[in-house]
Structure 1
Amino acid sequence: MTNLEDFFFSVDTENNDATPAVRAALAAARAGGERRLVFPKARYDFWPDRAFEQYWFISNNDEGLKRIVFPLEGLEDFEIDGQGSEFVFHGYVLPFTLRGCKEITLKNFSIDWARTFHSEAVVLAAREGSIDIEIPEQFPYKIPHDRLVFTGEGDITYDISNMLEFDTNKRETAFGVFDNFAVHDWHTAEEIGPRQVRVHAKFSTLPTPGNTMAIMDGGRLCPTITIERSQGVTVQNVTLYHSGGMGIIAQHSSDLRVENLTVTTPPESGRMISLTADATHFVNCAGEIVLENCVFENQMDDATNVHGIYGQISAIVSPTEIEFALVHPQQLGIDIFAAGDPIEFVRNTTLETFHENTVARVDRVNKQFTRLTLESPLPTDLSLKDAVANLRWIPNLTARGCRSRGNRARGFLVTTGGKALIENNHFHIAGAAILIEGDANYWFESGKVRDVTIRGNHFENCNYGVWGTATIEVNPGVAEPYRAQSLYHHSIRVENNTFDDFHGRLLAAHCVDGLTFTGNVMRPSGAYPKRSAGGELLEITHCANVDIRDNDLSTS
């Protein structure tokens, strides 16, 4: 066992930076074959100045040269135990990266930043074209050239990419409000009192005085725990108070367990926002992904998202060679294929599979383009803008006993062809609690589901925001003219769930073969104004083999 206390001589006393001690302890543990790094319970501060440096492509986050405090690479059977410690980070730094690791456990610590990447303000007044806000002292700012800019430690500044209204009392996005991304392109600001600012901009909805405005910097530069090409990683009894990106992001990794993870704001902090993006996110993974007894609240994006990546055909080089492009800018640089991988080709219109093959060779051109040599000839009707996906990296998902509430956007996004079980969870989500999607035209997130069970969950007044059309939404990216030709998703069962509902739509689904909705109970709540103008509780179109029975969906 390696004890960080033995390396306190390495602490940078000028700013109490524990980063050098961590580097020394990790080096000693590796050299001595130690399997545990233990932290005496305390607060530890980490600065980027003497952190390890490495370039990273991180899916759905921002690529770049990163400073990393805990760079774990090629480790096996290793555990980091914080014993209840507080890990506090400063500036642009990644707390944990794992690459090429096996059987790693991270447990018993919390993560926060001394200065958050976002800011917050209380609404004082609102009128068409401007709002007045009061900014707490923990969010320093300046107004150069009539533009509101927030400041961090040293010379760090944070621009504004979005402003979103939260209900201060309910601690959730305000009812029916939209994002205000337009403030990034144009706004002006002026000081009107001590820490009081008038912001002139076009707001999508006028905020209510007393509510909280979350003011977001657009970057996803500093996710908290990044896992790449690793196997058997467990995150246990960890609390994430903040990140400058996602909480946990895993790519090309397998057999991942997240147990008793809490995403929330620090007690007594007065903050509304926890993480600045998704709580958890899994891309092109395999094996078993388990989320158990977790809390996801007040982050600025989804609770979890499990998906692969579609590459878009950019050139047909020969009868056995293609070039594909990674289209979404936050997927650039991600290697999605290796020699020997089975792959499928889908139409970008219907998402239907029309050819399968095996990769013989991969030649990366650059971070955007890659050439594949295949074992078998390609079909003659292959077209540019059709898409290709990996059939090897498809995980099973179990999400059990989790609570999701108060965040922007959605709950669980499930786009995996493995077996998915979502049971005994509690959702109070501004958008769709569960979204099953997949598309080859915008996000390029694959793939088709084949076995999804949603059972025993409690859906409490979801869809009070604008990020969905139903509590459970099956919405593959198939445009209306092509939906009659597509049965993209398969075997989705929604069983024995309880819906407290004001919205009037429990399920919306299209392009599904095998959809079961049985044993569910709806309890009308009236908790919010009803936003939909009538319509069906179950909106099911262009589906086959639908079984709806034994539900209690009384609206009175």
Structure 2
Amino acid sequence: MPNRKLNFNSYSKIMLLLLMSICLMNSLKAQTKTKIYKLANYGILPGNGKNTSALLITVLQKIKSENNEQVAVVIQFQKGRYDFYPEGAEKREYYISNHDQDNPKIVGIALENWKNLTLDGKGADLMFHGRMLPIALIGSTNVKIKNLSIDFEKPQISQIQIIENDTLKGNIIYQVAPWVDYKIKDSVFYNRGEGWEMRPGSGIAFEKDTKRIVFNTGDIAVGTRGVTEISPGKISVRWKNKKLVPGTVIAMRSGPRPSPGIFVHKGKDISFENVKVHYAEGMGLLAQLTENIYMDGFGVCLRGKNDSRYFTTQADATHFSGCWGKIISKNGLYEGMMDDAINVHGTYLKIIQKIDDHTVIGRYMHGQSYGFDWGNVKDTVQFIRSNTMELWDTKNTITSISPVQGDVKSPMKEFKITFSKPLDVAIDPAKTAIGIENISWTPSVSFTGNIIRNNRARGALFSTPKPVVVTHNLFDHTSGSAILLCGDANGWYETGTCTDVTISNNKFVNALTSMYQFTSAVISIYPEIPNLKEQKKYFHSGIKIENNTFETFDQPILYAKSVDGLRFSHNKIFTNKTYPAFHHNKKRVLLERVVNLAMDVNKIDGELVELKPQ
């Protein structure tokens, strides 16, 4: 009897394990089931010039309704051009970091609350009209977009070419690019497109043959007032700038940046493969409050060497605000944009009121950064003195956070935040300006194998305490600094301290050809510290710059301010005479408040030299 009972129990256990295995296998099969949808089967075809907006909305809704979250959905375009117009498109209220907070946004492809989705363009060329946000990824998980490009038929940047420049009389004749639609009213030049019209206020000058920004020009004034049309597309204007030799191509810009090419909000595990943004009125890609973003072959770039345009986006190529997990960018091409290739940061709130020893009111301070969440319960925060950019030693944890709004329709600008531990008595906004940083919402970054060239302002910006690796990239004529480690609780309110940065095996070619903000050297470690003299702690730490190659016509290679732990070793510097030296900083290495410094085995023009920081 005992043996039979044992056998029966053993048999029961075996059968139970078998049933559990079968259930698990069926569950895994259900989770890995893939369904492929070809948009051509729903009448969405390339090359017909029809408005794709409304039909695609209907098709996406149908596909989503047919599947649950356990199904991996693949949606495929055919190769070719698809036109998207505002008519019939989605309208959404999105508050987008570092963009104009105007609403509603007109969205071409709104992918909201999707899971396990692949959108495969198969070489699709998505052409947008008017002022639209091409792709929005909202609240989605495990979504991949690949093999497509984004562009606009009528960019808000107008391109011209200098024909004649009479520097004595201060008169210029220029030719408007044939694809630019313009009008002249009361002797003022206006660029216009589908549903919009604006007067350019500034410009970026490019060399005709190289598409590089003209040396030592930066942001220039443009001739759009007092103009005379000589013939269609040929304009004469009182405009004096001796650097604009005949043949120079100018991208004339206006101020607005309403929407990026791609907007990612509150996502997780988002991937982009072989996606190109040729133009957007804001940034190429803006991601906020998102965990894990992967980019392989992502580009903000021209349509090859024969593209008649010289510019891409109105602002940064890629920008990450309040993200966490991992940000990976590899094998990308970033060129012709009007700002940085990548910028990674969080956002400081400014404490405007201390309610009690556990509770404060914090406010978004910049006009282009508000309207979205700032933190969650259990997030870790730290406090910073804005004047000296010194952190309090003690961190704290959020126990409650809620927006302070006049009504539920108002965008979030202020938050009432309660912390687990009592606040230091010195945290008093009545006595000094204080910022709060959410350090739970900070990512690690891997930026590898990318090309950054012929753009305005700077190359790459990083402000995160998590590990940052910048390696095997080419920074080619980035105009301003190639790499900037910043931090600012006074202007843009972009966090924060870097504690583990490796910059290695990169090549820098003739960076710093114009002057912009924070451009003190090719690599500029430049937190904005109003009162550096009173600072006792250090802002950045743990920075290694090793085995890089610098080709430069000027002196400044490295500038660093407020750093504890900086290594500059095994780097090679080659000098050239491509341009005349002009920078106000005449030092190879210029340091302010830097300790624990190591500088060894660096070469200039093949000779081992001892770089002496100034």
Same fold (TM over 0.5): yes
Query: How far, CA to CA, are the matches of 1:27 and 1:532 in structure 2?
Result: 56
Query: How far, CA to CA, are the matches of 1:552 and 1:94 in structure 2?
Result: 48
Query: How far, CA to CA, are the matches of 2:268 and 2:435 in structure 1?
Result: 28
Partner of residue 91, structure 1: 130
Displacement of 1:315 = 1.6
CA contact (8 A) 1:11 1:20 kept: no
Query: How far, CA to CA, are the matches of 1:308 and 1:198 in structure 2?
Result: 46
Say yes or no: does 1:357 pair with 2:396.
yes
Partner of residue 2, structure 1: 37
Query: Structure 1 328/129 Cα, relative in aligned 2: closer, same or farther at 3 Å?
Result: farther
Partner of residue 329, structure 1: 367
Query: How far, CA to CA, are the matches of 2:475 and 2:46 in structure 1?
Result: 43
Paired letter, 2:381: I
Partner of residue 223, structure 1: 260
Paired letter, 1:457: N
Aligned to 1:106, which of 145, 149, 156? 145
Displacement of 1:107 = 0.2
Partner of residue 339, structure 1: 377
Partner of residue 351, structure 2: 313
Q: Deviations over 1:133-189 (max 9, x none)?
A: 211221111111222111112x42133232221222221211011313x669x9433
Query: How far, CA to CA, are the matches of 1:9 and 1:495 in structure 2?
Result: 51
CA contact (8 A) 1:483 1:510 kept: no
Deviates more, 1:535-544 or 1:376-385: 376-385
CA contact (8 A) 2:276 2:298 kept: yes
Query: How far, CA to CA, are the matches of 1:483 and 1:283 in structure 2?
Result: 30
Query: Structure 1 258/126 Cα, relative in aligned 2: closer, same or farther at 3 Å?
Result: farther
Aligned to 1:445, which of 466, 487, 494? 494
Q: Deviations over 1:52-90 (max 9, x none)?
A: 111110001122211112111111110000111111111
Query: How far, CA to CA, are the matches of 2:255 and 2:40 in structure 1?
Result: 38
Query: Structure 1 511/150 Cα, relative in aligned 2: closer, same or farther at 3 Å?
Result: same
Query: How far, CA to CA, are the matches of 2:260 and 2:185 in structure 1?
Result: 29
Displacement of 1:26 = 1.1
Displacement of 1:126 = 5.2
Aligned to 1:210, which of 217, 240, 247? 247
Displacement of 1:341 = 1.4
Displacement of 1:198 = 3.2
Query: How far, CA to CA, are the matches of 1:480 and 1:208 in structure 2?
Result: 43
Aligned to 1:368, which of 408, 413, 438? 413
Q: Deviations over 1:406-426 (max 9, x none)?
A: 011111101111100000000
Query: How far, CA to CA, are the matches of 1:166 and 1:483 in structure 2?
Result: 43
Partner of residue 304, structure 1: 342
Query: How far, CA to CA, are the matches of 1:143 and 1:297 in structure 2?
Result: 31
Partner of residue 430, structure 1: 479
Displacement of 1:380 = 1.6
Query: Structure 1 299/325 Cα, relative in aligned 2: closer, same or farther at 3 Å?
Result: same
Displacement of 1:296 = 0.5
Name the SS for the 2:603 alignment partner.
Answer: coil
Query: How far, CA to CA, are the matches of 1:343 and 1:8 in structure 2?
Result: 51
Normalising by structure 1, what TM-score?
Answer: 0.95
Paired letter, 1:228: H
Equivalenced residues, count? 551
Structure 1 stretches of 4+ with a deviation exceeding 4 A read 9-13, 200-203
Say yes or no: does 1:476 pair with 2:527.
yes
Name the SS for the 1:50 alignment partner.
Answer: coil
Displacement of 1:10 = 10
Q: Deviations over 1:66-119 (max 9, x none)?
A: 111211111111000011111111111111111111110000011111111211
Query: How far, CA to CA, are the matches of 1:541 and 1:497 in structure 2?
Result: 22
Name the SS for the 1:370 alignment partner.
Answer: strand
Name the SS for the 1:173 alignment partner.
Answer: coil
CA contact (8 A) 2:333 2:450 kept: yes
Give the unaligned 5+ runs of structure 2: 1-35, 406-411, 608-614
CA contact (8 A) 2:280 2:312 kept: yes
Query: Structure 1 446/533 Cα, relative in aligned 2: closer, same or farther at 3 Å?
Result: closer
Aligned to 2:445, which of 390, 397, 400? 397
Displacement of 1:478 = 1.0
Query: How far, CA to CA, are the matches of 2:550 and 2:557 in structure 1?
Result: 8
Query: How far, CA to CA, are the matches of 1:422 and 1:303 in structure 2?
Result: 13
Give the aligned CA root-mean-square deviation in angstroms. Answer: 2.1
CA contact (8 A) 1:38 1:83 kept: yes
CA contact (8 A) 1:94 1:222 kept: yes
Normalising by structure 2, what TM-score?
Answer: 0.86
Partner of residue 118, structure 2: 79
Partner of residue 457, structure 2: 409
Say yes or no: does 1:502 pair with 2:553.
yes
Displacement of 1:431 = 0.8
Q: Deviations over 1:196-225 (max 9, x none)?
A: 22344687x752222111111221123111
Give the unaligned 5+ runs of structure 1: none
Displacement of 1:377 = 2.0
Displacement of 1:535 = 2.6
CA contact (8 A) 2:266 2:288 kept: yes
Displacement of 1:436 = 0.2
Deviates more, 1:403-412 or 1:108-117: 108-117
Query: Structure 1 103/534 Cα, relative in aligned 2: closer, same or farther at 3 Å?
Result: closer
Where do 1:88-167 residues align within 5 Å?
88-124=127-163, 125=165, 127=167, 131-153=172-194, 155-167=195-207
Partner of residue 424, structure 2: 379
Partner of residue 56, structure 2: 22
Determine what percentage of the aligned residue pairs are the same residue.
Answer: 28
